[in-house]
Amino acid sequence: MGRKRTCELPFCKGVVEGTRNKRRCDKDRNIHLHQVISKNVRKIMKYIESKEDLTANDVNRDLFKGKLDKNEKGSMYRLFQAMVREGYLLEKGKRGGLKVYSFAGSDAVSAPAVEDKTPVRSEPTQPKPRQLSPEEILLGKLREFVHSKSGQWGHEDWLWLINRDDIREFGISEADIGRILEEEKTRYWVQRNNY
């Protein structure tokens, strides 16, 4: 384990620990910065602030002469994601399959996002579930009881059911519960015999 020190990210007050080549911040377990990235955080930030928009490849090409390996590029990507979470960077879309970022404090924020040529798969919208009435909730609980007992139960099961707090809270008489149970029992056996 290497020596502990404060995180290189100016917006993070965490303590960094780890090996010589890979460091991890205790405030954000997802940020492990390889040494080449952690030593150059300030340089990367100055570069970001001077550009209208940028990709990770731009930073690799201009600051590191294209010498970052895939692990170090991944480390830089995690750094960018942390910066987005903290509001330092904004995501502006994609260019050439890579995410495009811009400095949140620049005038470039109001510029239109870079158009992405890849097809966008739209997520289906989920309709808002309607609120169940107390009668529907009770019916569901009784129907569940009938199915869990496979349409057959004894006196002990009946006593257990009518004394359950989640059944008693509805304030329905035992006779009404019995009537509903018998209807559900009939429905259960009709469905079962038809299959």
Query: What letter does residue 119 receive in the DSSP assignment?
Result: P
Sign of CA dihedral 22, 27, 29, 31: negative
pTM for the structure as a whole: 0.45
Sign of CA dihedral 88, 94, 95, 99: positive
* 12 three-class SS: coil
Q: What is the pLDDT of residue 12?
A: 64
Contact yes or no for 99/56 (Cβ under 8 A): yes
- What CATH number should be reported for the domain whose range is 5-110? 1.10.10.10
State the residue for tokens 């005038």.
Answer: 107
Contact yes or no for 181/142 (Cβ under 8 A): yes
Digits of tens for pLDDT over the chain (195 positions)?
456 666 666 666 666 666 655 666 655 554 556 677 777 888 888 888 888 888 888 888 888 888 888 878 877 887 888 788 778 888 888 888 888 888 887 443 334 444 455 555 656 666 767 788 888 888 888 999 998 898 999 999 999 999 988 888 888 899 999 999 999 999 889 888 886
